[in-house]
Structure formats: structure tokens, C-alpha cells
Structure 1
Amino acid sequence: MNKFFFTPSGFVCFLALFFLASCSDNEGVIFSTQDDVNLGAQVAAEVDSTYRAEGKLLERNSANAKAYQHLDRIVDRVLNSGQVKYRTEFPWTVKIIRDDENLNAFAAPGGYIYVFTGIIRYLEDEDHFAGVLAHEIAHADKRHSVRQLQRDYGISLLLSVALGNNAGALQQIAAQLAGTLAGLRFSREAETEADDTSVIYLGGTNHYACDGAAGFFMKLNAEAQQGNPPEFLSTHPNPENRVENIQQRARENGCSTTSATDSDFNELKKSLNL
């Protein structure tokens, strides 16, 4: 038994966890959705600070207004699909990190999403990019991020971070989330659920091809077969299986796989000089 149960501060923590457990609506997640938001806000502030110090965070200001205008239009189509459970509970902010070599995006708890310019440069189709965003939104909306952090760090430590009482752990969590390639190591089940959910989100947009996320993995797989696998595959294997799974879900759902125009994505890339 963890010793914090026997200390005064630990007893308070135990009571807090007891009440959090009573209001959790996801199996295996002790935190309430508000604690997701609190934890995510702490982590996002640390991530912002880190990349701002490196000159890589593209701030939401007039200099980057055009880029965010087009990014937000893509994101909002997904968020307003009518399928995002915590659409109103989470703040849902998406920020761009200038790193043209980083082929990734990641989600902190509570709907704080980050996208590296590397993946924007890599992709050519707006449906595929929307699929990547939908996948990351699903990680937050299905509460995979906080569930994985619970496993990695323990409930009591995460609660202390959410309450703003553990700066050291906060830095460690932020560094893991924003890892150059790895980020959080989600379970296979969580990755599959995020892929499946991306189909539902995109189908609900009535705009994007609902199997859009498959396009990203098809591109990765094609390069791997040519003997030039992107480094991304070292931590995200089996793209061909994910393509098959996403396309199967699209067939089962009977949703449209007709590609949308790439106007917002092309303008986003142009505004970022990619």
C-alpha cells in the first residue's frame, strides 16, 4: 500500500481521489473531466514555455493569423461534426510548432492539441491532415491521454500536477508528451479506437472523406516499401494494418470517402512557407 495514505496530506489526496472516482464517467479513469482540463492546461503552459524559449512555438498573433485561420477551419469541421463527446467541456486549442523534421502531432488531456510543421509539410491532401487531427482529437475526447499518464505516473502524482503542486513532474510529463517522435506510448487498443473514432468524426463533417486518416498511413507504408521508411515508423509500426482497419470501419459505417478540396490545407502550407 502506498505510504501517502497514512500522511495528513496523503489522506486529503485519498479523499480527493475518492470523490474524483465517484464522478468519473470513463472506466479506468479516476480524474473528472475538469481535472483533465486542469492537468492539460498545466501541461500546455509548460509545452508552450519550452517551445517559445526555443523560438519554435507559432503564437496565435497577427503574424500567424492567416495560418491559424485555415488551421482552425479544418479543426472546427471535425469538432463540430456532432460526434465529439466533450465538445463543450474541453477548451480545444490547437497550436503549431515550427519543426519541419518532426512528423508528428500530439494531444494533452483536456483538448490541448499540438501539430508540428513537419507533418503539415509531409502531407498533400486535406482529408489526410484532417484524419490526423481527428485521431489526436479522439485521444483527448476518449481520454486516452489522461489514462496513459495515470499508468505512467500514478494517480496521486498526476493530481498534484493538476493542482499546480509539482513543477518537476509537470516538466517531465510535458517533455514526454512533446517527445521528438515517441510522445505517449498508447496501447494498441487506444490507437485502434482513435483510428476508428476518426472515421466517425470525419463522417460527421459531411465534408471530408471519412477514411482520411488512412491516407497518412498509406503514404508512410509506400515509403517504407521503397526502402526509405520515415523515422516515425520506429515508434508507430504496422501502417498497413491501420489502413485496412480504417477502410473497413468506413465501409461498415457507410460514410462518404469522397475527397474534399484542399483549399484550406494548401493555404495553410503557403502561409507557413511549406
Structure 2
Amino acid sequence: MRKTSLQLLFLFAVVSAIISGCNKDEPLVILPLEQDVQLGAQVHEEILNMQDSLPILSEQQYPQVYQYLRNIMSNIVASEDILYEEEFGYDKIYIIKNDNELNAFATPGGYVYVYTGLLKYLDSEDHLAGVLGHEIAHADRRHTVRAIQRDLGVQLLLDVALGQNQGAVVQVVRALGDLQYSRSNEEEADTYSVRYLSNPQSPYECDGAAGFFEKLQNEGSGGGTPEFLSTHPNPGNRIEAIQAEAATQGCDTAPCTTCSYEQFKIMLP
């Protein structure tokens, strides 16, 4: 019954997409929201099986590090602008041990992964909160599943949902590393990062994401493009757009006075 229902949903969505004339950059999301949760869980299980290439830092060995990150996530998703806190939870954050990559990414269903390279590169908790807010927005606004659907095709997503293709999840994991978001999705994720950090529970400067991009801009890429910019193309006026959104929101742009980011970085391996 479940198989038939999903197949009918697939056919209905394809027909709807044709009728609505939705464009390639912003395709209609085919699968229902609960499939984001299922797909995220399947992708995470596959990542756990890829410890040679994507080594996850053990929470048992570094409980304080993980608690620190979960506290940041909790402050961010206290925002009323979060759509799917109940469905996604947003307590699923994992650290990939790789000091050479300045990167972070989110999967459908609200799983967030951040590289030790990025954590050590950032200067403040405000900047980290801004980056995490950006990644949460990609999951919460369903940008990630939309980009996967665009790049890998709706049939592969249907295969994952139906459990018909054992290699489909592997393809999704590999695609996440090179996933290209549309310009409008990038702008929306930056906008919502500001809005998330402007909520009353947040102690962060609401334009924290701009601080990360300012550092990249001031220091240059060191001879190569940071991975984060490879998968999150810079539209050129990103810093200005984030700061403009902060001005529009009228939110606090003063740095967090109670954060202890340097102590957090000392705890990282």
C-alpha cells in the first residue's frame, strides 16, 4: 500500500510540476515532508559507514564539545521562523574530523555536519551560529532535498523512499559534498540565518554569518577556493545583503558577551 501511495504521489507531483511550469532552478519538491526525515536518517547511517572518508568525532570521547554545539543549535531554533522544529528536532549535529576543509552541510530532515577545519578557522561563536543558521535554513526551507532532486532526479529519491535501490543512498551522500544551491536558495538561507539569530533567546550578533565571509574575503582563499564557497557559491554582495537584512530586522549586531569560543576550540582534537 505504501509503495502504491508513493508511486501515485510521484506521478501526481510530476504532472503538477509540468502544469505549474516550475523551472529547473526551483523544482517542486516531489516527496512529502516525512520523507525528508527518513532520507536524513538513511544518509546518516551511510555516513557512519564511511569513517575512512568522513570520520565522525565520537560524542562519547567529546561530550562537552557536542553539548556546546547543541546549545548553539537550541538558541538558533528558538526562532519563530523555524518551520519544522517538531518534525526535524534540530539536535542532530555531528563533527567531521578534517582540519583541511572549511565546510559544513545539512541533509534533509535537519542533520547538520560541520568540519573541524571550519570550527578551528572561525573566530567567534557568533560566526559559527551564523553558519549553522544558514545550514539549518537549507534543511528547514527544504533547499537540500530540492537540490538533490534536481541533481540526481526524482526517480532516485523515489527509489530511496521505496527501498528499491541499495546504492541510491550512497549516491545521495556523495552528492552532498558537491551540492550546488541556486542563487535564490543561498540568499534565502542567508536571510533566515539573520532572522534565526534575532530571536529573543539568541545571545548572538544577528549578522554573525557575515563575520565568516568577511574573514574569507580579508584573508583570501590561500591559493584555493574554500570548500564552503565551492558548495555555497558567493553571489558577490553576500556580506552586504546579510548586514542589510540585519538592519531591516533592527536586531542586535553586538558580539556575544557570554560566549567562550576559544575555550571550545581548545577542546577540539
Given candidates 238, 258, 268, the residue that maps to 2:254 is 258
Q: CA deviation at 1:19?
A: 6.9
Q: Which residue of 1 aligns with 2:45?
A: 45
- Indicate how the Cα distance of structure 1 residues 36 and 55 shifts in structure 2: closer, same or farther if over 3 A, else same: closer
Q: What's the TM-score once normalised by structure 1's chain length?
A: 0.84
Q: Which residue of 1 aligns with 2:65?
A: 67
SS in structure 2 at match of 1:89: helix
- Indicate how the Cα distance of structure 1 residues 19 and 41 shifts in structure 2: closer, same or farther if over 3 A, else same: farther
Q: CA deviation at 1:212?
A: 0.5
RMSD: 2.5
Equivalent residues in 2 for 1:206-217 (5 A)? 206-217=202-213
Q: Which residue of 1 aligns with 2:153?
A: 154
Q: CA deviation at 1:230?
A: 4.5
Structure 2: gaps (5+ residues): 15-25
- Indicate how the Cα distance of structure 1 residues 237 and 186 shifts in structure 2: closer, same or farther if over 3 A, else same: closer
Q: CA deviation at 1:262?
A: 6.3
SS in structure 2 at match of 1:162: helix
Q: Deviations over 1:57-85 (max 9, x none)?
A: 11322x11111111111111111223211
Q: CA deviation at 1:16?
A: 3.7
Bigger mean CA offset, 201-210 vs 242-251: 201-210
Structure 1: gaps (5+ residues): 1-9
Q: Deviations over 1:19-69 (max 9, x none)?
A: 778xxxx98112111011011111111112213x458211322x1111111
Please state which structure has a larger fraction of its residues in helix. 1
Bigger mean CA offset, 75-84 vs 234-243: 234-243
How many residues end up aligned between the 2 structures?
Answer: 254
- Indicate how the Cα distance of structure 1 residues 236 and 17 shifts in structure 2: closer, same or farther if over 3 A, else same: closer
Is contact 1:102–1:119 with CA below 8 Å preserved after alignment?
Answer: yes
Q: Which residue of 2 aligns with 1:4?
A: none
Give the distance between the partners of 2:94 and 2:232, measured in 1 at CA. 22
Q: Which residue of 2 aligns with 1:17?
A: 10
Q: Which residue of 2 aligns with 1:246?
A: 242
- Indicate how the Cα distance of structure 1 residues 108 and 237 shifts in structure 2: closer, same or farther if over 3 A, else same: closer
Is contact 1:99–1:117 with CA below 8 Å preserved after alignment?
Answer: yes
Give the distance between the partners of 2:86 and 2:211, measured in 1 at CA. 29
Give the distance between the partners of 1:31 and 1:254, measured in 2 at CA. 37
Look up the equivalent residue of 2:240 and give its one-letter code: E
Given candidates 216, 219, 223, the residue that maps to 2:215 is 219
Give the distance between the partners of 1:230 and 1:150, measured in 2 at CA. 26
Q: CA deviation at 1:261?
A: 3.1
- Indicate how the Cα distance of structure 1 residues 222 and 55 shifts in structure 2: closer, same or farther if over 3 A, else same: closer
Look up the equivalent residue of 1:106 and give its one-letter code: F
Q: Which residue of 1 aligns with 2:94?
A: 95
Q: Deviations over 1:169-211 (max 9, x none)?
A: 211110121x2xxx31001110110000100000014411110
SS in structure 2 at match of 1:57: coil
SS in structure 2 at match of 1:99: coil
Q: What's the TM-score once normalised by structure 2's chain length?
A: 0.86
Given candidates 180, 189, 204, the residue that maps to 1:194 is 189
SS in structure 1 at match of 2:112: strand
Identity level (%): 46
Look up the equivalent residue of 1:50 and give its one-letter code: M
